[in-house]
């Protein structure tokens, strides 16, 4: 069975859509790997489609809303502003995985952001999500300033880039990378093929 890894950033609505569908399409075990999309942008020299051209942004948001409906998920509620700085949220995610509650925290944070419109650039919203996921908010807040957590997230982002991850969500199935929420089914088919071989 090849190793399966899910690379994501909590600020990405496409990563949210993938996270919600992952359990239905890809059998366990799946390793969730938080990475900093801003860090990947710096390394690749790219930028977010949601910044810059207004028409492109509106079209992208409309496409995500349509996908949300087609997947049977609650209607999208966009945080304001979006996108914003997700560094603190991603440090909190890194800590949550270190203490064995990463998926619970990340699903809560994704839903807070894209079902409730919570702006995850605000520490208070991150800590509220942590509380809802069963984490100690004070410990999470301290962890977002912890040098080891900061370094872990940096190293995870650099390692993802070295592997060929250009953006999120990306699913790595063995050595094959599948970038985009719309490639989840393709990744699942590839995994079935490799497993059956």
CA atoms within 13 A on the CB side of 84: 15
- In this prediction, residue 44 carries a pLDDT of 87
**Does pTM top 0.85 for this prediction?**
yes
pLDDT bin (cut points 50, 70, 90) of residue 194 is confident
Question: Dihedrals φ, ψ of 81, to 5°?
Answer: -80, 160
Residue 127 has pLDDT above 90, yes or no: yes
Tell me what the mean pLDDT of segment 155-168 comes to. 97
pLDDT bin (cut points 50, 70, 90) of residue 12 is very high
- In this prediction, residue 1 carries a pLDDT of 80
4-8/31-34 β-pairing: parallel
- In this prediction, residue 197 carries a pLDDT of 65
Which domains are present in the chain? 4-196 (3.40.30.10)
Question: Dihedrals φ, ψ of 33, to 5°?
Answer: -125, 100
Q: Cα separation of 131 and 135, whole Å?
A: 5
- In this prediction, residue 48 carries a pLDDT of 83
pLDDT bin (cut points 50, 70, 90) of residue 53 is confident
Residue 163 has pLDDT above 80, yes or no: yes
pLDDT digits (tens, 9 = 90+) for 100-120: 999 999 999 999 999 999 999
pLDDT averaged over every residue in the chain: 95
Tokens read off for 126:
């991150």
| Sequential DSSP letters for 44-90 | HT---TTSS-HHHHHHHHHHHHHHHHHTTPPPP---SS-S---HHHH
Residue 123 has pLDDT above 80, yes or no: yes
Collapsed DSSP state (helix, strand, coil) of residue 196: helix
Most confident of 48-52, 80-84, 141-145: 141-145
- In this prediction, residue 184 carries a pLDDT of 96
Partnered with residue 33 across adjacent β-strands are 7
């Amino acid at each position: 069975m090849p190793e399966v890894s899910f690379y994501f950033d909590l600020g990405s609505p496409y990563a949210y859509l993938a996270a919600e569908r992952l359990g239905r399409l890809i059998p366990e075990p799946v390793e969730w790997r938080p990475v900093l999309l801003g860090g990947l942008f710096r390394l690749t020299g790219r930028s977010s489609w949601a910044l810059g051209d207004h028409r492109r942004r509106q079209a992208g948001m409309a496409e995500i809303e349509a996908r949300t409906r087609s997947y049977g998920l609650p209607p999208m509620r966009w945080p304001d502003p979006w996108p914003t700085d997700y560094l603190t949220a991603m440090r909190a995610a890194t800590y949550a995985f270190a203490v064995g509650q990463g998926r619970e925290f990340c699903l809560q944070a994704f839903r807070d952001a894209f079902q409730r419109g919570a702006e995850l650039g605000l520490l208070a919203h991150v800590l509220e999500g942590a509380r809802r996921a069963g984490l100690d908010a004070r410990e999470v807040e301290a962890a977002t300033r912890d040098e080891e957590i900061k370094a872990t997230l940096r190293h995870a982002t650099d390692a993802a880039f070295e592997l060929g991850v250009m953006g999120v969500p990306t699913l790595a199935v063995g050595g094959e990378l599948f970038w985009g929420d719309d490639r989840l089914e393709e990744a699942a088919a590839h995994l079935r093929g490799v497993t059956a071989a």
